[in-house]
Chains A and B, each alone.
Chain A
């Protein structure tokens, strides 16, 4: 299957003794938007953070099982290389407060000490900000601090920062839960455009959002992957009773 970008089989993750991700097997295809949903504490964010090995940074956190990016096992690769290839956008916008908007976009290169021509760098900045639908708003203030932007703009700046590294996959950890409805809709709009070049995995609490933006939806419950299917199928005729209960709001 050359279209499979990320695949997990029998993947487990722990916080100390707390088994948070249980035997998850999933195949994620290229250029799709995958929504991951489920009640709080069901391990969806942990699973997401395992994909680019951010999980292991928390003391006491461990993971076991196979998780592959194309044909390479993520857990035998150098974590730094993994994070080049799998970008991440967090729940709260977190631009670097000490850097300008421009430097924030190329932070991945600058902080890694990668030398580049000014022209190339300008090019990357413009391209990434354009893809993140932010270029028109900030092109005159590229050298202002990133923290002067509004929350929604900051989140798009973080998306631009992830795009600038040209990753294969971008992970979104509840990317709109700290944003107002207008910013949310602009970020959601963005998902549709980013799909052409990247594979997006989005953790969300918002079922409407999952229905709106995703091609496929994964439903997690108490650490297990209950159901993974086409979003339409999932929201119209879920196969599992737990999914049905969650979607109809019997439990949250």
Chain B
């Protein structure tokens, strides 16, 4: 009965005409012309006239733009256009809302307009953000793609002053060096990752996790100099020393990705295996690792993509070699190192070689990333 009464009361209330009326907002309208002039003269600052929120957003974007100009010389000329369009849209919407807020419909329309506006602005920003990336990619492809042919891939660089030549030595060298660092870093990385995920909260896990984070932040040139003093000084320049430097760069990535993947697995999975009388080590090997396999593998591939372009530690470890060499105890060429040497040389032919090598390197990284996406899609286990 009480419920019925309440419902009736509510019905009555909603039928009362006074309840349908909404507050009429007082206040002046904003001028479209003023908005245009302000945006034109003051740029993003002018947007504060329309609304504080948009002013803040646009100012931040402009600051980002300034940083972008300083870093890459790339300017978002469209920005001022966006400011003008945005300010007019906001002021018009504001005026429309001001002038005609009399009932619900108008207000909903105003809100709809506002969300359409925000949505299109977000899409515009997404486009602006990807633009530099696309331009860089296109430029490298344009410069590099013409260099690549069978001859380019299977020959060593021509002596200075001669035309032709290829990057076979760098290609082989990079593959060998990356393979060697993977052999070192992947097992250690996975084991450490398993330890961290299995023993969260212990002191050792806390401090080793901290070390991993610090290691991840160590600049690659610093890793290089450590290897230089520890390994290159006593044993001389070699591919092995380069691999060790890269392995050190690679390990934290593998450790963290393994740990994060395994932490996501539900504990019930482990309980299920343990309740069947499976010993702990077999639970890890046969249940936990296979279930997190896709994540671990994509972590490994991403770490390879990360180190394959690493130049700094190779400068003074693997050094470089103009000839095709598979002797891991001797200096060896690698793709990033080759790009570095040939891009700074005075010969146009060698610049072309550097562009070609950049293109190949880019394709490697791109393919590895696409591969990772495919793996996670295909082998991802549904829990």
State whether the Cβ of B149 lies closer than 8 Å to any Cβ in chain A: no
CB <8 Å contact, B383 and A111: no
Q: Which of A135-166 contact B (CB under 8 A)?
A: 145, 147, 158, 161-162, 165
CA distance A164 to B282 in the complex (A): 19
Cβ distance B290 to chain A, nearest Cβ, rounded Å: 5
If A80-B279, A98-B290, A111-B286 touch, does A158 touch B272 (CB 8 Å cutoff)?
A: yes
Task: Report chain A residues within 8 Å CB of B201.
Answer: 59
Cβ distance B279 to chain A, nearest Cβ, rounded Å: 6
Contact with B along A156-197 (1 / 0, CB 8 A): 001001100100000000000000000000000000000000
CB <8 Å contact, B268 and A107: no
CA distance A84 to B282 in the complex (A): 15
CB <8 Å contact, B290 and A112: no
CB <8 Å contact, A88 and B277: no
Instruction: Among B266, B276, B286, B291, point to the contact of A161 (Cβ < 8 A).
Output: B276
Contact with A along B165-198 (1 / 0, CB 8 A): 0000000000000000000000000000000000
If A94-B266, A96-B291, A97-B291 touch, does A108 touch B381 (CB 8 Å cutoff)?
A: no
State whether the Cβ of A57 lies closer than 8 Å to any Cβ in chain B: yes
CB <8 Å contact, A111 and B274: no
CB <8 Å contact, A54 and B271: yes
State whether the Cβ of A127 lies closer than 8 Å to any Cβ in chain B: no
Contact with B along A65-100 (1 / 0, CB 8 A): 000000000000000111110011010101111100
Cβ distance B348 to chain A, nearest Cβ, rounded Å: 55
Instruction: Among B274, B282, B286, B291, point to the contact of A83 (Cβ < 8 A).
Output: B274
Q: Which of A23-46 contact B (CB under 8 A)?
A: none
Least CB separation from B200: chain A residue: A59
Cβ distance B283 to chain A, nearest Cβ, rounded Å: 7
Instruction: Among B266, B277, B290, B382, point to the contact of A80 (Cβ < 8 A).
Output: B277
CB <8 Å contact, A98 and B277: no
Number of interface residues of A (CB under 8 A): 30
CB <8 Å contact, A111 and B271: no
State whether the Cβ of B275 lies closer than 8 Å to any Cβ in chain A: yes
Task: Report chain A residues within 8 Å CB of B211.
Answer: none
Least CB separation from B383: chain A residue: A97
Task: Report chain B residues within 8 Å CB of A82.
Answer: 277
If A94-B266, A147-B382 touch, does A112 touch B277 (CB 8 Å cutoff)?
A: yes
CB <8 Å contact, B272 and A92: no
CB <8 Å contact, A165 and B276: yes
Cβ distance A90 to chain B, nearest Cβ, rounded Å: 6
State whether the Cβ of A52 lies closer than 8 Å to any Cβ in chain B: yes
Cβ distance B379 to chain A, nearest Cβ, rounded Å: 9
Task: Report chain A residues within 8 Å CB of B382.
Answer: 97, 145, 147
CA distance A82 to B274 in the complex (A): 11
Task: Report chain A residues within 8 Å CB of B266.
Answer: 94
If A97-B382, A108-B276 touch, does A90 touch B271 (CB 8 Å cutoff)?
A: yes
CA distance A108 to B279 in the complex (A): 11
CA distance A89 to B216 in the complex (A): 42
State whether the Cβ of A113 lies closer than 8 Å to any Cβ in chain B: yes
CA distance A54 to B277 in the complex (A): 10
State whether the Cβ of B269 lies closer than 8 Å to any Cβ in chain A: yes
CB <8 Å contact, A52 and B275: yes
CA distance A107 to B291 in the complex (A): 14
CB <8 Å contact, B269 and A84: no
Cβ distance B106 to chain A, nearest Cβ, rounded Å: 46
Cβ distance B50 to chain A, nearest Cβ, rounded Å: 52
CA distance A183 to B278 in the complex (A): 29
Least CB separation from A78: chain B residue: B277
CA distance A38 to B276 in the complex (A): 27
State whether the Cβ of B287 lies closer than 8 Å to any Cβ in chain A: yes
Cβ distance A101 to chain B, nearest Cβ, rounded Å: 14
Instruction: Among B269, B272, B278, B293, point to the contact of A112 (Cβ < 8 A).
Output: B278
CA distance A138 to B245 in the complex (A): 53
Least CB separation from B278: chain A residue: A111
State whether the Cβ of B45 lies closer than 8 Å to any Cβ in chain A: no
CB <8 Å contact, A147 and B383: yes
CB <8 Å contact, A111 and B275: no
Q: Which of B261-310 contact A (CB under 8 A)?
A: 266, 268-269, 271-279, 282-283, 286-287, 290-291, 293
CB <8 Å contact, B271 and A94: yes
CA distance A199 to B66 in the complex (A): 74
Least CB separation from A109: chain B residue: B276
Instruction: Among A54, A81, A90, A113, point to the contact of B282 (Cβ < 8 A).
Output: A113
CB <8 Å contact, B268 and A111: no
Task: Report chain A residues within 8 Å CB of B293.
Answer: 98
CA distance A161 to B286 in the complex (A): 16
CB <8 Å contact, A111 and B283: yes
CB <8 Å contact, B273 and A96: yes
Instruction: Among A52, A80, A84, A90, point to the contact of B272 (Cβ < 8 A).
Output: A90
CB <8 Å contact, B277 and A94: no
Cβ distance A57 to chain B, nearest Cβ, rounded Å: 6
Contact with B along A105-125 (1 / 0, CB 8 A): 001101111000000000000
Instruction: Among A57, A158, A162, point to the contact of B274 (Cβ < 8 A).
Output: A57
Cβ distance A176 to chain B, nearest Cβ, rounded Å: 16
Interface set of B (CB-CB < 8 Å, partner A): 201, 266, 268-269, 271-279, 282-283, 286-287, 290-291, 293, 381-383
List of 3 A-B pairs having minimum Cβ-Cβ separation, nearest first: A83-B277, A108-B276, A88-B275
**Selected A-B contacts with CB under 8 Å, 7 pairs:** A54-B274, A94-B269, A96-B269, A98-B293, A111-B273, A113-B282, A158-B272
